[in-house]
Amino acid sequence: MKTRMLKNIPSIIGPDLLKTLMEMGHGDEIAIVDGNYPAAARARRLIRMDGHGVCEVLKAVLSLFPLDRMQENALLMEVAKNDPVETPIWQEFDAICRAGDAAYTRYSLIERNEFYKRTESCYAIIATGEKALYANIILRKGIVR
């Protein structure tokens, strides 16, 4: 699918998100978060995509967004201690990132409160309607070669 009047841009990528991705420079980070994440309270720039899931947004973003080759480029919020929740969506994230950019090797986990702090310094947060728990990812932008 294509966005109105432009070629090769996924239709899910609206004008605000496209502008944000273009404004970001090398080393800037963007978070794509689930519906439970307190995005509005933490975002410097908030992009709402409530009708979409994280995997759908992640795939579209990676079709345009180069990942950093020099540092960790995909961070996930680790499951809180004593929380028995399963996170099968992480395997989907891994497959999407692997297919989306050769710079991706593996995601890293960071502790919940550290993840919250990290998103506060992200260039933007994309808030989705994702229902899966712990379905939050931070991407670090690389360069176009």
Catalytic (active-site) positions: 26, 68, 116
DSSP for 92-145, written as a single string: HHHHHHHHH-TT----EEE-HHHHHHHHHTSSEEEEE---STT--EEEEB----
Residue 124 has φ and ψ, to the nearest 5°, of -155, 160
SS3 content of the chain, % helix, strand, coil (to 5): 30, 20, 50
Report the C-alpha gap between 89 and 54 in whole angstroms: 9
Chain center to CA of 55: 9
- Bridge partners of residue 136, in order along the sequence: none
Beta bridge partners of 137: 32, 76
